[in-house]
């Protein structure tokens, strides 16, 4: 399986995030890339497909905000990374917000996702990374790995959160559909629910979304990912959520993975995009499943066993010392 990555993805480096009532060191660091590349080998170069595939998923006003947010923050006399502190509750109005403080809250759903000086460039090239790996699939490759960073599955059409700014998996899935590779399914196997991906495709009957994740009754992102969320309008039945309790290991995970893949195959998917998070690892510092390194190889082999052309898009995983080995184990299942 070929790996795709661009050095500019390392330029996103916020200093801190606000978590559980205090400032803590930012968990989604460039060191994650080093760990993965050391264990998984050299990467192929990334092509620039421009802004249009991104705008097929994300609203123009949000993209314009994200592109200029840090510069606007600094122009307002602020130091450090841009981060919001005031958020609209429940429904959001589209308002002509001029202060960067207000815009940050309007386009975010948490205080753990700062916009740093290099955030836009890194997010842009992360999306291009997913698009380049998809091009490999379109050219006949059975599998390809987009080493995306920052990750993307928490980002919605017009909001950031959960360390995510542009939704790489959604951008790739929409592009795959446009290239005639559909029907397209997205399988999210990160510890946390891919709320942004679900939101983007919630009313889209043409793209199936399945997610195995921690029960949102106990875990972030809390407000999405319940089993009764099945899509809306003409897309009812094209969303499948399989939440698992904290402490789930392979015995609990394997049946959920089988159920998700059964649903994807029965739906008629011709191309699969996998949002892969290694934060299901037993010793991940911010997660609570109990998968071990050998289990990642089982997850990869189970997915590969369905025979679909598969684009793997990197999402979370914060046990940095073990991250590269866990990703390598997952990818080995596709050999």
Alpha-carbon distance 195 to 155, whole Å? 8
d(CA 321, CA 151): 18
Catalytic residue among 58, 70, 143, 154: 154
The DSSP code for 190 is S
Catalytic-residue membership of 192: no
Smallest CA-to-CA distance from 208 within 181, 173, 243 is with 173
Q: Which of left, alpha, beta for 185 (phi over 0: left; psi -120 to 50: alpha)? A: beta
Q: Note the maximum CA span of the chain.
A: 55
Sign of CA dihedral 22, 84, 194, 273: negative
Q: Residue for token digits 């490759």?
A: 141
- For 238-261, the DSSP string reads SEEEEEE-TT--HHHHHHHHHHHH
Question: Where would I find the beta strands (DSSP E) of the chain?
Answer: 2-4, 16-19, 22-25, 143-146, 184-188, 207-214, 239-244, 271-276, 310-314
Partnered with residue 185 across adjacent β-strands are 208, 272
- Residues annotated as part of the active site: 154
């Amino acid at each position: 399986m070929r790996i795709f990555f661009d050095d500019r993805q390392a330029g996103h480096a916020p200093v801190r995030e606000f978590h559980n009532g205090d400032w803590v060191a930012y968990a989604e660091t460039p060191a994650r890339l080093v760990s993965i590349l050391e264990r998984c080998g050299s990467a192929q170069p990334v092509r620039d497909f421009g802004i249009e595939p991104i705008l097929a998923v994300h609203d123009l006003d949000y993209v314009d905000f994200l592109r200029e947010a840090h510069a606007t923050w600094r122009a307002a006399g602020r130091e450090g990374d841009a981060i919001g502190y005031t958020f609209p509750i429940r429904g959001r109005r589209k308002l002509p917000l001029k202060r960067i403080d207000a815009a940050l809250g309007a386009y975010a759903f948490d205080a753990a996702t700062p916009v740093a000086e290099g955030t836009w460039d890194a997010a842009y090239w992360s999306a291009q990374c997913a698009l380049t790996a998809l091009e490999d699939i379109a050219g006949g490759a059975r599998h390809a790995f987009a080493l995306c960073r920052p990750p993307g599955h928490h980002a919605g059409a017009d909001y950031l959160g959960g360390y995510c700014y542009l939704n790489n998996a959604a951008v790739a899935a929409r592009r795959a559909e446009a290239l005639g590779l559909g029907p397209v399914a997205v399988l999210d196997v990160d510890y946390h629910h891919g709320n942004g991906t679900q939101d983007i495709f919630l009313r889209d009957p043409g793209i199936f979304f399945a997610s195995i994740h921690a029960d949102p009754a106990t875990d972030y992102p809390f407000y999405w990912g319940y089993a009764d969320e099945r899509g809306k309008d003409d897309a009812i039945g094209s969303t499948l959520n399989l939440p698992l309790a904290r402490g789930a290991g392979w015995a609990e995970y394997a049946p959920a993975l089988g159920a998700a893949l059964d649903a994807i195959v029965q739906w008629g998917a011709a191309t699969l995009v996998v949002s892969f998070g290694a934060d299901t690892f037993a010793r991940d510092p911010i997660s609570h499943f109990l998968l071990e390194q050998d289990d990642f190889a089982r997850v990869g082999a189970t997915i590969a066993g369905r025979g679909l052309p598969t684009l793997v898009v990197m999402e979370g995983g914060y046990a940095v010392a073990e991250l590269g080995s866990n990703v390598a184990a997952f990818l080995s299942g596709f050999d």
